[in-house]
Amino acid sequence: MGTDLMKKKYEPLIPFHENIRYNNIKDLSILNEDVAAIIIEPVQGGTNFITAEKEWLQTIRDRCNKYSIELIFDEIQTGFGRTGKMFGFEIYNIKPDILCIAKGMGGGMPIGAFISSKSNMSLLSQNPALGHITTFGGHPVSCAAALATWIELVNSDLIRSINKKRELFIKNLQHSKIKKFHGLGLMLALELKNDKYCEKIVKELLINGVITFYFLFNRNNIRISPPLTISESEILSACEIIKKVLDEN
C-alpha cells in the first residue's frame, strides 16, 4: 500500500498509518505504545522476493512484546510450503500474533483465513460476531479442498522436496545474463539487466511454453513460482528453455 498504483482508487484510507522500510532497523523506533499493529511479509512478494533479515524481524518481535503491539505476518504467498517450510515464520523461529493465509491454502480453490490466539479470536465472538462480517466465508467445497491440501502437505514429503527443487533450478540456470538469484524455496527471482529486457524475456518464454512473470515493483526480475508438485524433469525442461531464450535475446 505504499504506492499510488495500489492505493489511489481506494482513498481516503484509514488515517494514522505509517510505512517503514523493509530490513531497516532504524525505522523500528516508530514502534511504541501508540502503535496497534504492524503488518509484514516474511518474503516480499511484490518485489524480487526480498527476504526479511533475522535481526530486523527479531527486533520487531521484541518491540511488539514490549509495547503490546500485534505482529501480523502476511503469509498469503509464503504459506503452505512455498518457502520450504509450512509457513515462512518457521524459518526465522519468530511467531506472529496474527497469521494471514490464502493462495496455497486451497490447493487451487479460492479460500483465505487468518489464525490467531484464543484470546484474540474471542474478541470476534460478538459486536459483531465473526460470522456476520463475511458473505462467502466458509464455503464447504473450498474448505474441503483446504483440508485435503493440509492433509497432503502434512503427510507427504512434498515440503521437504522444495529446497532440493530450488537448488536444481539454480544449478541449471547458470547463465551470464542472470545477475543474481533471490528468494526462498520455490519463490525464485532471476535478476536481469533492466526492465525492458526482462519484459521481453517473459513474453518470449510464454511463446516457448514457460509461464513466468515480472514483479510489480522490481521489473528487472523474472518471477518463477511453479506448483510445489513440479517434477525434476519439468524443472530441467524449463531451465533449458529459459537458457535458450536468454541465448537468443
Domain annotation for the chain: domains and CATH numbers: 4-155 (3.40.640.10), 159-248 (3.90.1150.10)
- Residue-wise pLDDT for 211-220, tens only, equals 999 998 889 9
Rounded to an integer, what distance in angstroms lies between the CA atom of residue 102 and that of residue 109? 10
**DSSP string of 164-195, one letter each residue:** HHHHHHHHTT--TT--EEEEETTEEEEE-S-H
| Model pLDDT, residue 233 | 98
Q: Which whole number is the average pLDDT over 14-21?
A: 88
pLDDT of res. 11: 86
Could you give the C-alpha distances from 23 to 41, 43, 131, 229, in angstroms and in order?
A: 11, 11, 37, 31
Which cell is 233 given? 524433469
Lowest mean pLDDT among 32-36, 85-89, 128-132, 164-168: 128-132
CA 84 – CA 213 distance, rounded (Å): 21
Give residue for cell 508438485.
Answer: 229
User: pLDDT digit string (tens) for 150-191?
Assistant: 999 999 999 999 999 999 999 999 999 999 999 999 999 999
pLDDT-based confidence at residue 131 (cuts at 50, 70, 90):
low
DSSP-assigned letter for residue 202: H
Mean pLDDT over 131-142 rounds to 81
Q: What is the pLDDT of residue 7?
A: 81
119: pLDDT confidence band, cut at 50, 70 and 90?
Answer: very high
Q: How far apart are CA 181 and CA 216, in angstroms?
A: 17
Mind listing the pLDDT tens digit for each residue in 232-246? 999 999 999 999 999
Tens-digit pLDDT profile for residues 21-73: 999 999 999 999 999 999 999 999 988 999 999 999 999 999 999 999 999 99
Question: Residue 3 has what pLDDT?
Answer: 75
Cis ω on the peptide bond leading into residue 12 (within 30° of 0)?
Answer: yes
Res 128: pLDDT: 73
Torsion of CA 50, 51, 56, 61, to 10 degrees: 120
* 192 pLDDT more than 90: yes
CB 236 within 8 A of CB 165: no
Cell numbers describing residue 28: 523500528
State pTM to two decimals.
0.92
Q: What pLDDT is recorded for position 2?
A: 65
Residue 5 has pLDDT above 90, yes or no: no
- Helices then strands, counting H and E runs in the chain, come out as 8, 10
